[in-house]
Amino acid sequence: MAAKPLKRKPLWLGLGALVILLIIGSISLYQFVLNADNDEPRGGPIAMPATQGDFSLTQLDENDIAIVSFGYTYCPDVCPMNQAVKRQALAQLSETQRERVVPVMITVDPERDTLTRMEEYMQFFGSEFIGLVGSQEQLEDVAERYGVIWRRVEAPDSVMEYTVDHTASLFLVNRHGKILQRVLYSPTAYGLIAALERELDS
């Protein structure tokens, strides 16, 4: 008795299943990032070694505001854009308002971002820009309180070896570590300018 030929499933069924799995995985990752970014951050003190000596929010005057962002100097796009947006926003403020605002970036890549490298990077944007380089423990503590997530992404075919995905929001913070406003990432300065003017005029 001849064996019955095996019935082959159409190729499109396998491809369809793979596409569905990829979509489900992408949705899950998106929801994870979205939920993490939407967690209500507590804020709190920030004190780390910085490009202009040790920095602490407590050094601010009572009516001053820090624009705090998280990034790293090897970042190819989001981080330099965030610093450029800060610079554009500061340029739109009056001189009196500008004196009350301190632009700050905390590195999420303390393995590569030395204070010397951070100082060179900050100078591209302005002498008033301050870069913070804490220990891994300090970074984890501050990032958790500010609702910031980051993860290392290996890039074996790149001279950079790895990149870092991270939350790109900007935080307006007072000297007590209270988050006055959270500004979502944007390549334009309009949202940050509006947020600063609201806080500076209040």
pLDDT of residue 115: 97
The model's pLDDT over 86-104, given as tens digits with 9 standing for 90+, comes to 999 999 999 999 999 999 9
Query: Which pTM does this prediction carry?
Result: 0.80
Residues in the chain: 202
Residue 113 has pLDDT above 80, yes or no: yes
Residue 4 has pLDDT above 90, yes or no: no
Residue 114 lies in a domain: yes
pLDDT of residue 127: 96
Q: How confident is the model at residue 114 (pLDDT cuts 50, 70, 90)?
A: very high
Residue 13 has pLDDT above 90, yes or no: no
In sequence order, what are the beta bridge partners of 9?
none
Helix (H, G, I), strand (E, B) or coil at 138: helix
What average pLDDT does the structure give for the chain? 86
pLDDT of residue 159: 86
Residue 7 has pLDDT above 70, yes or no: no
Residue 98 lies in a domain: yes
Residue 168 lies in a domain: yes
Residue 96 lies in a domain: yes
In the chain, how many domains are there?
A: 1
Residue 82 lies in a domain: yes
Helix (H, G, I), strand (E, B) or coil at 81: helix
DSSP-derived pairing of the beta strands 101-107 and 130-132? parallel
CA-based nearest residue to 51, from 113, 142, 94: 113
Enclosing domain of residue 125: 47-201
Residue 2 has pLDDT above 70, yes or no: no
- Residue 155: C-alpha distances to residues 25, 51, 55, 70, 163 (Å): 21, 28, 32, 21, 7
Residue 68 has pLDDT above 70, yes or no: yes
Residue 27 lies in a domain: no
Residue 148 lies in a domain: yes
CATH code, domain with 100: 3.40.30.10
The model's pLDDT over 174-189, given as tens digits with 9 standing for 90+, comes to 999 999 999 999 999 9
CA-based nearest residue to 67, from 201, 161, 170: 170
Residue 147 has pLDDT above 80, yes or no: yes
- Structure-model confidence comparison of residues 126 and 32, the more confident one: 126
What token pair was written down for 178? Answer: 């209270």
Residue 29 lies in a domain: no
CA-based nearest residue to 89, from 65, 120, 54, 60: 65
pLDDT of residue 10: 53
